[in-house]
Amino acid sequence: VFNFSPGPATLPEAVLRQAAEEMLDWHGSGMSVMEMSHRGKEFMSIHAEAESLLCELMGIPAGYKVLFLQGGAIGQNAIVPMNLIGRTGRADYVVTGDWSKKSAKEAAHFGEVRIAASSEEGGRYTRVPAQAEWQLDPKAAYVHYCANETIGGVEFFWTPQTGDVPLVADMSSNILSRPVDVARHGLIYAGAQKNMGPSGLTVVIVREDLIGHAMPITPSVFDYKIQAAADSMYNTPPTYAIYIAGLVFKHVKSLGGLAAMEAHNRAKAAVLYDFLDKSGFYSNPIQREARSLMNVPFWLKDAALDAAFLQGAQARGLVGLKGHRSVGGMRASLYNAMSIEGVQALVAYMRDFEAQHG
């Protein structure tokens, strides 16, 4: 099948094949990675390689720590403020969709949260607010934004300017999809289950000067200082998820790294958006400059046809297309591992469906 699910999502077949081959006996160790001690030399080498490949792919500069944690991006909605907000007691949030709205709401448990900019209009989000609209608080401990709104299909294609205030990004659904300027961020976090691997692993990339300011209530396992000092092994890390993510990183590198991913992702998204733009039957209301390369929501002219559309798609092996319940319609997620053939098959189906029902 071609799996358009928003996450957990399709993974490179080569990675899954390698994992299957190594399942019972990793590199002659006589063990599955799942059975290894996280402190043994085998797993330590897997962990170190995954971290070093991620640094290489993303160009993570010196002065940053990479943490492999648990709790997901939703966990980070609390963990980020617990670690960072204490410096001044307040933080700015930019709201561009359901995910950033949720982040702001959670952070408000830990300090004073201001909405520095929002693109919400009548409960919908179709753009990102221009930098000139941002009303930043120079005393904020950080400014948070969501680089790609997985539900709304709204993506940032520019890095916000926040002066001396550290910039924090939720990159759960677009990490590794194209190059990103890590040095302009104080902290980047992402759940792994879209472009990096299975769920259960949360990646945090944090500038070292932002470590060590956790509120006293912060659980030790979520204190960046404690986890950084323990090389993310203060608790038992999600070992198998780290192993698979390492295989994905190696695979992405073999394909040419993030510049190659960007070209691949732009080409795929263009196939679908070009079709949507020419159609009077399907629509996508997102402003062109903010259209996500990763998650493409679209609506049929008549929502009464949604069930038939999904059923027909399933029959052609096109799965995971149902839109998020909060916005309805459809959503095609085009993560790195989705092939251009998959997008072409989707468009061919959409064309046929329109011919039948339009």
Q: Residue positions in the annotated binding site for pyridoxal 5'-phosphate?
A: 99, 150, 170, 193, 235-236
- Closer of 33 and 201 to ligand PLP (Cβ): 201
- Closer of 51 and 106 to ligand PLP (Cβ): 106
Q: Which of 65, 194, 268, 322 is catalytic?
A: 194
312/307 Cα distance (integer angstroms):
9
Residue 318 tokens read as 């096109």
Q: Does 191 bind ligand PLP (CB under 6 A)?
A: yes
* HSE, side-chain direction, 13 A CA sphere, residue 324: 16
> Taking the chain, what is the end-to-end CA distance rounded to the nearest angstrom?
26
254/260 Cα distance (integer angstroms):
10
Stretch that binds ligand PLP, among 37-45, 72-80, 257-265, 280-288 (CB under 6 A): 72-80
- Closer of 126 and 173 to ligand PLP (Cβ): 173
In the complex, what is the shortest distance from the CB of residue 183 to ligand PLP, in angstroms, rounded to a whole number?
Answer: 22
- Closer of 97 and 350 to ligand PLP (Cβ): 97
- Residues 6+ away with beta carbon under 8 Å from 213: 83, 84, 86, 87
Q: Does 96 bind ligand PLP (CB under 6 A)?
A: no
Stretch that binds ligand PLP, among 69-77, 106-114, 133-141, 212-220 (CB under 6 A): 69-77
Question: Is 170 considered catalytic here?
Answer: yes
Q: Does 238 bind ligand PLP (CB under 6 A)?
A: no
In the complex, what is the shortest distance from the CB of residue 121 to ligand PLP, in angstroms, rounded to a whole number?
Answer: 20
**What is the gyration radius of the CA atoms in the chain, in angstroms?**
21
115/320 Cα distance (integer angstroms):
33
In the complex, what is the shortest distance from the CB of residue 102 to ligand PLP, in angstroms, rounded to a whole number?
Answer: 7
Helix/strand/coil (H/E/C) assignment for every residue in 206-259: EEHHHCCCCCCCCCHHHCHHHHHHCCCCCCCCCHHHHHHHHHHHHHHHHCCHHH
Query: Measuring CA to CA, which residue among 48, 113, 56 is closest to residue 80?
Result: 113
Determine contact, residues 224/65, Cβ cutoff 8 Å: yes
Question: Is 253 considered catalytic here?
Answer: no
Q: Does 296 bind ligand PLP (CB under 6 A)?
A: no
> Which residues are known binding-site members?
39, 99, 150, 170, 193, 235-236
91/74 Cα distance (integer angstroms):
17
In the complex, what is the shortest distance from the CB of residue 237 to ligand PLP, in angstroms, rounded to a whole number?
Answer: 16
Q: Count of residues binding ligand PLP (CB under 6 A)?
A: 11
44/299 Cα distance (integer angstroms):
47
Stretch that binds ligand PLP, among 46-54, 126-134, 170-178, 274-282 (CB under 6 A): 170-178
Question: Is 26 considered catalytic here?
Answer: no
Site residues, ligand PLP (CB under 6 A): 7, 72-74, 99, 146, 150, 170, 172-173, 191
